[in-house]
Structure 1
Amino acid sequence: MVRPAPELAPDLAAALEAFLRHLAVERGRSPNTVRAYRSDLTALLARLPGAGLTALDLAALRGWLAEAHTAGVERATLARRTAAVRTFTAWAHRTGLIAVDPATRLEAPRPRRALPVVVTAQQASDLLAAACAGAAQNDPVALRDLLLLELLYATGARVAEVCGLDVADVDRGRRTLRVRGKGDRERMVVYGVPAERALTRWLDVGRPGLERVGSPPALLLGARGGRLDPRVARSVVHRAVSAVPGAPDIGPHGLRHAAATHLLDGGADLRYVQELLGHSTLATTQIYTHVTADRLRAAHDQAHPRA
């Protein structure tokens, strides 16, 4: 059962809506980020007494986070809530809604970074081979699904970025895509020959079969001719991966992890992978530099004189 959002006093509700517009329009934050910040800040502001924003002090913020920690909220969620509060109070102080920013000394717990679960290179190959076989009859949906899988694995792009592509974003001569990532930042990603073959079949046969009057210029279309919904794309990936024996249950982000891991396994430079994935800092990309016990053993056996 989903709990209804608490009602806010009119002045708090107005401040929150103004802040969320600032996030979306001026800072270019994604709809998912805006949605998460709305939820976090609504829960916080609903706790304030009649004094409104003037009651928002460091003790109130720490108490709110402490209660969430006691209730078992994960560290990553606590870190996100802290980021939401810091961004909101800095904005409120800058716009004159509060005299002092109370979150300047608010510390966030460091989220534990778990190693990503990835498919092996062979499992990825088997997944794509099965998708190619499924598209042998040139069914438009099967051709679209094949291209979706190829692009996700080839480029390491996020599912929202791939679903947001327009036909005009494709440079087939250079085999590159112009994707729009977090913060509406653009970057170029490259794809290989297998993805180009899937793209050719999709544009020649598949897309015309799904296109309708009024269809958007989207590269990938849904069954009714609209832009492919990321939720449908996730279902496609889960279904395709579940058909590969021994493969872990992953979604589109798992293919992004696999692309990064396999690139580094193959000797790609870490900064190239950072650019491909659209990470703002190298530290985010470094999670993919983990090595498996098998790889460590193989390197040891090959190189150490006492192996």
Structure 2
Amino acid sequence: MWAAVTAKDREAARVDLHAIRAALPSAARELITEYERHLSLERGLSEHTVRAYVGDVVSLLGFLHRDHGADDERRALDGLDVAVLRAWLAHQRGDGASRTTLARRSAAARTFTAWARRQGAIEGDPGARLVSPRTHRTLPAVLRPDEAGEVLQSAESGAAELDPQGLRDRAVLELLYATGVRVSELCGLDVDDVDFGGRVVRVLGKGSKERVVPFGVPAERALRSWLETGRPAMAAAASKADPAALFLGVRGGRLDPRAVRRVVHDAVGSVPGAADMGPHGLRHTAATHLLEGGADLRSVQELLGHATLATTQLYTHVTVERLKAIHDRAHPRAR
């Protein structure tokens, strides 16, 4: 029920943003279209990231034009200054936005105003004077090694009957846990991206940055079974299969991230006591287990494709919290 409500809320938010965008003056709509093209084509951001950035800009310009009575004769960003940016964020806060959400929207506004200044759409850069609220970084839920093993053992049992979908799901879970790739990166993989000789996979990450990530023997076995048995059967059953995609959906097209989320939720949900999570939870789990196993931060940063080491350092806090919990349970003088 909760997932259904959340999906409805997200859909309602998208409809509202479409309505706001349609009601903007033509100059503002044209500027948003140019910005969307810049994010997608010039910066190479993912569809999800572009949608989030553009949605924040639509919200901002809707706030600007509603409160300033702008019309088609005015420049799209007339009246946009740091006071308006702060008022917009205050309005978001009043609607219940969290500190994390406000920080993201502040970053989106700064990115947009810097681009608009370079384009000559605004004089000066009001976003440069905007200070983001401090975020409360929450520790991600991760599986224990034994729980991760149970998830993958369950997937292996499901693939034992050589059902194409079971073989695919096992390969998806093994590769996610082995490499820590993002769900979008996993779905974007082609058959040719897998190098069994070197046991590595070539991944196209954020900003179209390519990296090579190794995987282990269990993932190799799962991938070979999928490619030799599961994929041909699924492709033959489909009216038209994608010849390049590593993972296929039941209709033959490239596997959709939503389908991967269902696979992960179902697999993790089969393990009693395991925290509910999706593909990103397996990414957190892989990173945490690497660090607990002795991997250094720089190596984990490179494997995960993080732009900055600060993002990877979050996982050191996860491991410290887990060690503290173990200490509290096990040490006779912990309490």
The TM-score with structure 2 as length reference comes to: 0.87
Q: Which aligned pairs between 1:133-148 and structure 2 lie closer than 5 A?
A: 133-148=157-172
- Alignment equivalent of 1:39, drawn from 40, 55, 72: 55
Partner of 1:160: 184
Task: In structure 2, give the amino acid aligned to 1:30.
Answer: S
Q: Is the Cα contact below 8 Å between 1:216 and 1:227 reproduced in 2?
A: no
Distance 1:250 1:68 in 2: 28
- Stretch moving more, 213-222 or 26-35: 213-222
Whether 1:272 aligns to 2:296 is no
Partner of 1:262: 289
Q: Secondary structure at the match of 1:227?
A: coil
What displacement does 1:55 show? 0.7
Distance 2:262 2:243 in 1: 22
What displacement does 1:246 show? 0.9
- Root mean square deviation, CA, Å: 1.9
Partner of 2:197: 173
The TM-score with structure 1 as length reference comes to: 0.94
Deviation string for 1:107-159 (max 9, x for gaps)? 11122111110111000001101110111110000000000000000000111
Q: Which aligned pairs between 1:13-32 and structure 2 lie closer than 5 A?
A: 13-32=29-48
- Stretch moving more, 53-62 or 38-47: 38-47
Identity of aligned residues (%): 56
Q: Which aligned pairs between 1:65-76 and structure 2 lie closer than 5 A?
A: 65-76=89-100
Q: Secondary structure at the match of 2:212?
A: strand
Deviation string for 1:70-120 (max 9, x for gaps)? 222011111111111111111111111112211111011122111110111
What displacement does 1:300 show? 7.4
- Stretch moving more, 210-219 or 142-151: 210-219
Distance 1:101 1:175 in 2: 48
Whether 1:229 aligns to 2:256 is yes
Distance 2:125 2:330 in 1: 52
- Alignment equivalent of 1:197, drawn from 202, 221, 224: 221
Deviation string for 1:218-265 (max 9, x for gaps)? 100111111000000000000011111111111111101110111111
- Alignment equivalent of 1:209, drawn from 218, 221, 233: 233
Partner of 1:289: 316
What displacement does 1:269 show? 1.1
Partner of 1:91: 115
Q: Is the Cα contact below 8 Å between 1:75 and 1:110 reproduced in 2?
A: yes
- Stretch moving more, 152-161 or 215-224: 215-224
Q: Secondary structure at the match of 1:55?
A: coil
Task: In structure 1, give the amino acid aligned to 2:311.
Answer: T
- Higher share in helix: 2
Distance 1:63 1:294 in 2: 42
Distance 1:90 1:299 in 2: 53
Task: In structure 1, give the amino acid aligned to 2:213.
Answer: V
Q: Is the Cα contact below 8 Å between 1:154 and 1:192 reproduced in 2?
A: yes
- Alignment equivalent of 1:247, drawn from 254, 274, 280: 274
Whether 1:8 aligns to 2:20 is no
Distance 1:34 1:125 in 2: 36
What displacement does 1:294 show? 3.8
Distance 2:86 2:184 in 1: 34
Distance 1:280 1:96 in 2: 29
Distance 1:27 1:215 in 2: 27
Q: Is the Cα contact below 8 Å between 2:241 and 2:251 reproduced in 1?
A: no
Q: Secondary structure at the match of 1:189?
A: strand
- Stretch moving more, 181-190 or 135-144: 181-190
The count of aligned residue pairs is 304
Distance 1:204 1:246 in 2: 35
Q: Where do 5+ consecutive residues of structure 2 fail to align?
A: 1-8
